[in-house]
Structure 1
Amino acid sequence: MNLKIMQSCEEKLLLDAPFPSFALNKNGQITIWNPICEQYLGYKKEDFKNINTLKDQLLSTLSENMWQRILDAQEFIRINNIQLLHKNETLSKADIIIIPCLINGEHSIAFYCFPEEQFAFLGDSEQELNDLKNGILSSFMVVNLDHEGFIISCNPLFLKTSKWTPKRVLKKNFWQLFPEDEESQQMADTIWNTISKGKIWQGDVQKTKKTGETYWVHLTAIPTYSQKEQKYSYILIEQDITNEKELQQKLEKIAYVDAETGLMNVHRLENVVKKMIAEQQNFYFVYLSIDKFYTLKELHNVEVESNFILEFTKRLKIYFQDSVLARVNESDFIVITPLGEWFIQGFLTYLKQHPIYIGHRAMPITISGGITRSPQDQSNFTQLMNASLATIADVRKAGGDNILSLSESAHKKLSRKSIIEKRLLLALDQHNLKVLYQPQVDLKTGKIYAVEAFVRWEDEEIGVVSPDELIPVAEESGLINNIGSFMIEEACKQAAQWQQQGIELKVGINLSVREFRDKNMAKFILDTLMKTGCPANLVQLEITEKFALEAEAETSIIQQMRKLEEEGITFVLDDFGTGYASFRYMQLLPIQILKIDQTYIQSLTKSDKTQRLINGIVHFGKSMNLTVLAEGVETEEQKQLLEQYDCDAIQGYLISKPVTADKIPQLLSS
């Protein structure tokens, strides 16, 4: 009697429940399917012929393990947040309570489904979490994976974007969401390896739709760990960024392609070359420059603009088939090819055999080119470009119309120059440069009255770098300003320190015109004097004739020099006689000291002509009310001749080599 009552109660509860409820017998056949099931889920009882039909449709998101657990159930089971697949192929979430029972005398399994949107009893904090979840589900594509990477649920936005249907996508694995090419599958492996270790992965990835089309998403893959099951499951939160990616690709195409020829431009070329170097490929980097291009344009006007470059590009493509081609500016092209030098040089002959015609007249084209091997000659893009430009400069000096490569020694020199530039950046950052001081002696008193500051650099990797090697690299790279600032600060600091010790010594600092093009240079120098406590009258700024000639044409430089002169700083004209002598800048610039270059002093005792020249320079300086100083004095005989000519001061190895600051007091007392 009790059993009958229990049976009828279970059956009645299933049939009358205000939520989808149904029952299975031991064979997996549906014995009860309440009206709410048909209304809410869309299926009729007849749609489920056996348990496999139910598994593949309504409950297709359940794993095999969970199904086995349900069929073997001896007690109550609750499954939270399971996705139900409706007959119209939409998804909804529900909690399911599963109870083993007897119905009509048979062992059965009752399923009570509580759809999320109809049965939600949450507290305030839970409600906030639910609102956040709903916001994510409505704004982002969401896919849930089990611990093996199989899809167990997804939201409608994912289905809409990917064009998958729930029936088709559920039970697919994570890797099947990505294109089948090697790069995409490697990306999928990377993501999986990250999240399977319990770490979040974020980034832009390309995925594939059911139709085979690809689309881009910004993906956040989050692992979630179940203490109960001792396993990870995973949530993929995705935002469709296909439009942004397509726009980016269009912009990149514009940025990376030469509009006139369709060849890649220098920015794209750099990326290609870097990749080839990373892959350790061997290739020839060929820089081809059209000689006198702008003259040709002027002579042939519009016709050159519209036809000439396109015809030249066509010949490049025909001759250098299967090679990488780029246009780096209006008249310069790059070819990346595995073909040897003899073939590359044959392009000149090919051009002569296939001339470019404007109207009925062949264009008189000549090409200057440079060939550089990678990695044998140079090992990065900048070095390849620099070597090519150096080669072309040599070719043009020799008349042009040739394609050559630099000698091994020239490549070594360029490579060292590149290394110096890199190491110099490090040296400036780590304050590894040193300052040495060379004394200057007043010939009338025989006393040291001033020193010239020299930068010295000994690098742990490349050894001693001489000023003759350092300064040109610094000027080309723009680091001369950094060296100048370092020298000014160190020299002013040292002059102030000597003064505190009772030693009044002027300090000469070499500056370039590049530094004075900075309109704040005078201010920087005066600020440094104030910061270091160095009096302005102890500073001598040494400039070259090239500096003076350029300063003559730039009023802002003259104004800065005059401002410094007014504060008490002295200007020295260095290397006099080796540059562009001009009486005009002698009038315009505030120069007080004239320094005779050491190249004249070296031949002073060997040449009567040099003696007359130096005697004339000294008297010229005196006539301009300038102090005359001779540098590079190494012998007593040279000193005596200079005294005879009434030279004011000397500097050179006869007095001392450049020494560290601590040695100067010893020289003063000797």
Structure 2
Amino acid sequence: MITNVLVENTVILFALCWPLSFYSSSWTRKDRPVAQCAAGTWFGIACIIGMMIPNAIQAGLVFDARTVVLSMAALFGGPLVAGIAGALAAAYRIWLGGIGMLTGLGNVLLPIVLGLAYRYCHQRGLVRIGCWQLLAFGLLLHFGVLGLVALLLPTAVVLTAFREVAATLLVALPLGTTALGLLIKDLIKRNNTEQALKISEARLRAITQALPDLLLVIDEDGRYLDIICSERSLLYDDPSRLIGRRLHDVMPPAEEQRFLDFIHETLRSDTPQLLEYTMQTLGGRRVFEGRALALDIPDMEKRAVVWLSRDITERTNAELEQRIAAIAFESQQGMLITDADNRILRVNKAFSQISGFTSEEAIGQTTRLLASGKHDADFYRAMWESIATTGTWIGEIWNRRKNGEVYPEWLTISAVKDAQGKISHYVAAFSDITDRKLAEQRIHHLAFYDPLTGLPNRRLLLDRLQQAMASSRRTGQLGALMFIDLDNFKNINDLHGHQTGDEVLRLAAGRLSANIRASDTVARLGGDEFVVMLEGLASDAVLAGSQAEHVGMKLLSSLDGAYRLNELNLHSSASIGVVLFGEDDSTSDELMKRADMSMYEAKLSGKNALRFFDPRMQQAVQERLRLEEEIRRGVLTGEFFLYLQAQVEQTRGLTGAEALVRWRHPQRGLLSPAEFIVQAERAGLVQELDVLMLRQACLQLAQWSGRVGFDELTLAVNISAHLVYQDDFISLLLQLLQASGANPQRLKLELTETLLLDNMPEAIARMNQLKAHGIRFSIDDFGTGYSSMSYLQQLPLDQLKIDQAFVRGLPDDASSQTIVRATCALAAGLGLEVIAEGVESEEQRTALLANGCHRYQGYLFGKPMPVEEFERLVVAQPQRASASG
């Protein structure tokens, strides 16, 4: 029964909302309070009617659809509408009285509060008013109604109410809320659209009436359908007499046909068409600019166009005056007027300033007075043909000043015709473009030449190489391309500064240029790389190769000489790669790559050398590239892993290990670093491998933590210079330690001397940061670089590692013993540990011990081995230690 009553309430509600369509466009506007009061009253009446239908569960407990009405009044009408409706509903509910009066008043207040909250959120773009949003709102509202019932009524009444109306409240009324909200939203939207159309129509009418233009609607037969004009003086007759008439009734046949053609062209086109025309009007003869667009209106008998004409009489007069002013002589450009025979009639001051000829000297002369002699007859013939055809010529020309100087100018010549259409005069305007040409030359030089050495750059070299290759194919003569790289140039830059390095590059460029022919090319690619291109060599490849080798050896000799700069006496040899061209269809890029490969082979052979391209180099390069790709894949797929080589102390036995990388190649099996590390460095992959090894070392230390016999072990990891100076290296390493849980005090980083000397202040700062976290440092291969007390005192080191080159000569080599003894004494004085690598025999260990070295690494104590094998070695350590003791 209650369900039926509530459904009836909802149906009545929709019926009562129909009259709101007449108010909805106004009660949502803030400036219409009267309409809002009316709407609020109507909503209140709807609530009262709903409460008048007998739907009580018991005396004084009434359920109806007023919550739907009031929530929508608040959502769409705002506070005023909701307040009036709520006041009426509350008054009637108080009049009804009964046990549920407080609940009923709550059911008046709750939908108003929630509706206003919904309105507030919607106005700020937090929520939309849509089907699902309204349904969710309805559910929230009527759950709230049930909450009020449970809160304010006795338990027995609550149970009865829930049993009777809960399902209906949570199904029918949320659906009713959704439907009513969508209905009111649609009514408001529709009325707003109608109102906007009315406003737009009124605005458009006002605009068209206010525009100083003439608007015509003309059909395809030339009949006037509509005329809107703000000024009658723009028309040739009264608008009321023109509508319905055709073009031939008001204008001459020639003009009529022109207008009809324009109308038909507009109807055929999808875009607006323009027409400029002159017409006699009530206000005199006027010039108009017409713009027409096809007017497609359904059910029209004939197609028509909308034609907007604007009076441009004043504009055309102004343009005419501007054209006249453009010919004025007091211009920054040189100007002259000649007759039809090119005899000068008049010149301006700028003409005299540019050319040097006074007006008295120029007037009466022909324009041949200015000819430079740089242009042939064909040039002038083409120029005068253009003037005769188009009436003008614009371009660059070289003329001569009075002092004989030839200069470039930008010239415009315009023909002036008389009333019969014949050329009567020529007007010329020109400007001196000498500065512009100089700027273009500077730009050209910057684009094609190296700013440091003045040599051609890569762009110009490739252009000349293309021409040389084409010439070789035509003549059969071969050429040679030499790729030159200065040896050890980086050391000059690092030790003496870039300014000194730049001066060495300039001197090297001069030496190269001095040892080739004028017909050859020497270019700088960048850095310390140069290219020499030889042309016109012999047709025989052997003889051409001999010629190229002769030049190359001269270049090597010249570059190997000392560079004297102030008090410095610097040396830098070169490596040269040579490739011949003209024998096949190789491209310029291929030649450059081959020359580069040859140069690289020359460097590998010991520098200060020359190598010709061999096809086997190409195969080697391809192998290297393939290896690079395999390394990249291996890093991603986990093919690289740790091998450990034991490090021992004379009395304590095994104290740790050095972490060494190994590669489990899918096809080639287990590979040592010697088989891939050089290529990894060339490909820039060493940093990735270093990070991978650091991560695995940290994980291994974390696994050993807490294990008896393992938790005191250290792992030494050798890292590259690129990684150390990488901006995020410190944070990366600390993150690896934190993520793995490894003890930083068990990690030792091995660095090379040359790495530290590259940037000593930065190296010290970075090492100190890591040292603060407990990480230890060791100098790898000590004694092979620039070993000095100075840097050892500055660096926060823990250990020196004696290079195996000094261990190999023990015990027989006295100099090796001296170096070991001195290193151990130096380390002891600085409080540093010393470890020797490459220890392979007991005799070597005995000699090391005798000279003060107590820590060792080498095959005597174990080859590099998998982690599992190393762990077995650690477990067996007590027996091994006692055996050796």
Give the alignment's TM-score, normalised by structure 2: 0.39
Higher-helix-fraction structure: 2
Higher-strand-fraction structure: 1
Give the alignment's TM-score, normalised by structure 1: 0.50
Structure label with greater radius of gyration: 2
